[in-house]
Amino acid sequence: MALNTTPNIADGDGFYEELVAAQRDLTDEQAERLLAKLVLLLANHIGDRAVLSEAIALARANTLRRAPQPAAN
């Protein structure tokens, strides 16, 4: 199985709203913990180590490529 990177979530906007709502009223630490737990739950559901490794590499590369730029003064 290969990592599916094409849009595949039914009601993507609704999913995003639910994800944001789940973090509402949490401290930054609680929100980070929630997201970490969600990642681990979904990784367990996927289960395929090759797919998980591909996802980790893609997420890391994307994060490094999109590093925020310092604000102009």
Q: Tell me the pLDDT tens digit for each residue of 2-43.
A: 999 999 999 999 999 999 999 999 999 999 999 999 999 999
Tally of domains within the chain: 1
Which strand (E) or helix (H) includes residue 58?
helix 49-65
Question: Which is nearest to 2 in space by CA: 55, 44, 63?
Answer: 55
Domain-embedded: residue 20: no
Burial 49-68 (b: 16+ CB within 10 A, else e): eeebeebeeeeeeeeeeeee
Is-contact 31 23, C-beta < 8 A? yes
Domain that holds residue 59: 26-65
Give the tens place of pLDDT for each residue, 25-34: 999 999 999 9
Does residue 71 have a pLDDT over 80? no
**Do the domain assignments include residue 4?**
no
Whether 54 is in a domain gets the answer yes
Residue at 70 is within a domain: no
In a domain, 39, yes or no: yes
Is 35 a member of any domain? yes
